[in-house]
Amino acid sequence: MDTAIQLTTPQLAANTQRFANSYRWLIVVLGVIALAFSTFLLPMPRLDLRFLVLAAVMMLVSSYFSVQIPRVNTNVTVSDTFIFLVLLLYGGFPGILLAAAEGLCSGMRVSKGLRPGKKILIVAFNASMMACSTMLTVGVMRYAFGPLTELRSHDLSFFIAAIGAMAMVQYFSNTGLSAILIAIKQNKSIWRAWHSHYMWTSLTYVVGAAVAGALASGIERAGMSVLFVTTPIILIVYLTYQKYLNEIKSTSAQAEQAERDRAEAERARAEQAERHVEELSRHIAEQERISVQLQESKDHFRRAAFHDALTNLPNRALLAENLKFVIERAKQHEDYQFAVLFLDLDRFKNVNDSLGHSIGDQLLITMARRLESCIREVDMVARLGGDEFAILLDGIPNQAEATNMARRIQEKLQSPFNLSGHEVFTTTSIGIAVSSTGYDDPENMLRDADTAMYRAKAQGKACYEVFDKGMHTHAVYVLQMENDLRRAIEREELRVYYQPIVALENGQLAGFEALIRWQHPERGFINPSDFIPLAEDTGLIVPLGLWILKRACQQLCQWQWQSPANRSLFMSVNLSGKQVAQPDLVENIRDILDETHVDAKHLKLEITESAVMENAEMAARLLKRLKALGVQLSIDDFGTGYSSLSYLHRFPVNTLKIDRSFVGRIGEAAENIEIVRTVISLAENMGMEVVAEGIETLSQLAQLRKLKCQYGQGYLFSRPVDAQSVSSWISKKPHWQESLFPGAGDFFVPSQPAAVPSPVQLRTA
């Protein structure tokens, strides 16, 4: 610290004290002048017993009932109410006299324990300050509103305005004079001193003036009895407020103690850390004496900090440091370009799950060596974590160099990995971000390369994609969609639609498939193919699937009891692969069946072939538990997934659903109808039912009936519709039965004839 500053610090403190005392004496002189002038300039009213009672009560309140506000050197009393009341009843001079007396009492209270000389000055200052501020209030009020004792004779709005003005003038003059003294003592601006200590106290002046106005009007009508009635009420409110402030003070003390404890703990931790640093420094100093051995240690520590322990590749931190360097170089040289490739192994989890984590680690190590063999000396391969790698291509001529590198990597991975006797094939999805996009931060470039990599995975994996800004926009859109989907159930934006499943022998309604629909309030209708995969990725498909199942069962129960003819209707509901993996799935389904009073045999659960075959052993156990529950089981999209014929006999399946892709091409070539014939024959031999999806033409219906397919669904019968639409015709003969199945048994009484839909109408639907 500068010596001159040290020498002047006591002088500044002494000067501050002199300025404060000078200001106090100035206010004392002005207070004496104010009292003298008020004696000559203001009319002298008759001071009766009532005035003496008011003065005595005020002195008692000011002396014994005051509250110090926590953390602020300020006391609150109700004496201002009595000052305002005297001003309204007796006029200016008695009010100024009473204010000076109140200041005298408050000065005696706050100066307890001080030496006599300083105590006299503080008492005189408080009394004079109150006299000056009240004198200023009287002057302003007389100039603006006339004599104070006549304010009550005016109408109510005038009286309220005058009361408010009196409160504000007294508030600003009183707190302003006090704030100047605080500003001098604390060497801060008047505004900061006033804001810190008095800004919030305006309410006490306003309330005090309002109470005084009410008391003045009451005393005029009912005499001093009003004062004796209201004074206890004021004291009760005051004591309640005092208790509240005491609780605040107690809470504040606890908080301060907690803060002190925290500071002590921080200090202890800092001391411990300092001791640790000192011990570490001593250790390093000791190691430095070992010369060369120390310098191997440093290299080892640096390598551990910036390299991956498993593959010995640079880690994310070192890659980020190099990215910072090349980003700055690109800013200085316009023709300099670089790129980042973000790689993620496809289906790496399958390797860990099937062959174990040790084989997975070997795959990562071997993968690192292959990637290193693909790059130049100036490039860098880094492992970011898990099965994610990144390549920094430094100083490339153009974007084509980055895509060529991606193709070289894909070619390099075509040969298998030999890992402890296991031959493992793998592919990788690659996202590319090039410097021409413009980057200031390494993380943003890695983020965009990662986004492009996920686009490559969405394209079918084992490929690469170059980032463009549309991908980022899409990523933001998907994030917003996920947030909207999470709130869609709460907002009742989701609906369950129902598509009829028809017995192809006679056209009789057999049941329904429940399908989800989303009507977004801003984006309108959202195709299920856009949000179902998102629900799968985020895990929202689990609660969403249970919600669909519960709604569908509730609706089935209503339709079954709508008519005796509907009692045998069934409901088909899809289960996703994520739901199949849930350990409490069977219990949840049992609870829903119990709650909705649906017989388990009327519920068909549809599971895709790919979901079943992803983990055949687990799926077989789950399907047996579901079968024991009594529900019916269907394999959806049969023939489009894995080859599951060897496993099919192990699954307790009731129904195979022929995918619409086969039904739609049934008349295009002979082999297409043979595929359908084979599936129907397979199901018949295994005692299963068959449902054909996507029936849209009369020709498809005729051929499926000829092949003895039991059930079908499609636009030829009905598109998926809401529950209200189904309820309007479910108890009647379906329109398609009369038009598409002439001569079939008359199981229902039709309400009106239905025309056969034309192919154009079907396609439009």
User: The domain that contains 647 carries what CATH number?
Assistant: 3.20.20.450
What number is the average pLDDT over the span 185-192? Answer: 81
Structure-model confidence comparison of residues 228 and 617, the more confident one: 617
Q: pLDDT value at position 130?
A: 86
Q: What are phi and psi of 667, to 5 degrees?
A: -105, 5
Highest mean pLDDT: which of 35-39, 302-306, 353-357, 629-633? 629-633
Tens of pLDDT, residues 685-709? 889 999 999 999 999 999 999 999 9
757 confidence band (pLDDT: 50, 70, 90): very low
Dump strand ranges (E) for 346-387: 380-385
**DSSP label of 148:** G
* Residue 424 and residue 550 in one domain: no
The answer to whether residue 6 scores a pLDDT higher than 60 is no
Distance CA 535, CA 519 (A): 16
Tens of pLDDT, residues 461-500? 889 999 988 777 777 777 788 888 888 877 888 899 999 9
Q: pLDDT value at position 189?
A: 84
764 confidence band (pLDDT: 50, 70, 90): very low
The answer to whether residue 750 scores a pLDDT higher than 70 is no
* 32 found inside a domain: yes
Structure-model confidence comparison of residues 712 and 455, the more confident one: 712
* Residue 428 and residue 498 in one domain: no
Highest mean pLDDT: which of 59-63, 228-232, 713-717? 713-717
Q: pLDDT value at position 751?
A: 33
- Which of 149-163, 299-313, 641-655 has the lowest average pLDDT? 641-655
Token readout for 153 is 């004779």
* Residue 463 and residue 520 in one domain: no
Q: pLDDT value at position 106?
A: 78
Average pLDDT, the chain: 81
Neighbours of 648 (CB within 10 A): 17
CATH number of 119's domain: 1.10.1760.20
Highest mean pLDDT: which of 186-195, 328-337, 523-532? 328-337
Q: pLDDT value at position 275?
A: 81
- Beta-carbon contacts of residue 261 (< 8 Å; ≥ 6 apart): none
- Beta-carbon contacts of residue 356 (< 8 Å; ≥ 6 apart): none
Structure-model confidence comparison of residues 756 and 411, the more confident one: 411
* 261 found inside a domain: no
Distance CA 582, CA 615 (A): 13
* 35 found inside a domain: yes
- Beta-carbon contacts of residue 709 (< 8 Å; ≥ 6 apart): 504, 658, 676, 680, 690, 691, 692
Residue with tokens 């000076």: 100
Structure-model confidence comparison of residues 746 and 477, the more confident one: 477
Distance CA 650, CA 648 (A): 5
Q: pLDDT value at position 98?
A: 79
The answer to whether residue 129 scores a pLDDT higher than 80 is yes
User: What's the residue count for the chain?
Assistant: 765
Structure-model confidence comparison of residues 25 and 89, the more confident one: 25
* Residue 435 and residue 485 in one domain: no
Q: pLDDT value at position 223?
A: 60
Choosing from 183, 204, 223, the residue where a domain stops is: 223
Highest mean pLDDT: which of 179-188, 497-506, 634-643? 497-506
For residue 705, the enclosing domain spans: 480-764
* Residue 618 and residue 498 in one domain: yes
* Residue 451 and residue 501 in one domain: no
The answer to whether residue 146 scores a pLDDT higher than 50 is yes
Q: How many domains is the chain partitioned into structurally?
A: 3
Q: pLDDT value at position 211?
A: 80
* Residue 736 and residue 588 in one domain: yes
Q: pLDDT value at position 759?
A: 33
Choosing from 425, 442, 467, the residue where a domain stops is: 467
The answer to whether residue 321 scores a pLDDT higher than 90 is yes
* Residue 461 and residue 487 in one domain: no
The answer to whether residue 742 scores a pLDDT higher than 80 is no
Distances (CA, A) of 23 to 125, 135, 177, 178, 199: 9, 18, 10, 10, 22
Tens of pLDDT, residues 558-614? 999 988 889 999 999 999 888 888 889 999 999 999 999 999 999 999 998 777 777
The pTM of the full predicted model, rounded to 2 decimals, is: 0.48
Euclidean distance between the first and the last CA atom of the chain, given in angstroms as a whole number: 87
Distance CA 463, CA 196 (A): 66
Pairing of strands 380-385, 711-712: unpaired
* Residue 497 and residue 550 in one domain: yes
Q: pLDDT value at position 409?
A: 94
* Residue 490 and residue 463 in one domain: no
Diameter of the chain measured on Cα atoms: 124
The answer to whether residue 62 scores a pLDDT higher than 70 is no
User: What stretch of H or E contains 206?
Assistant: helix 202-222
Distance CA 725, CA 715 (A): 15
Choosing from 167, 188, 223, the residue where a domain stops is: 223
Distance CA 674, CA 735 (A): 31
* Residue 484 and residue 463 in one domain: no
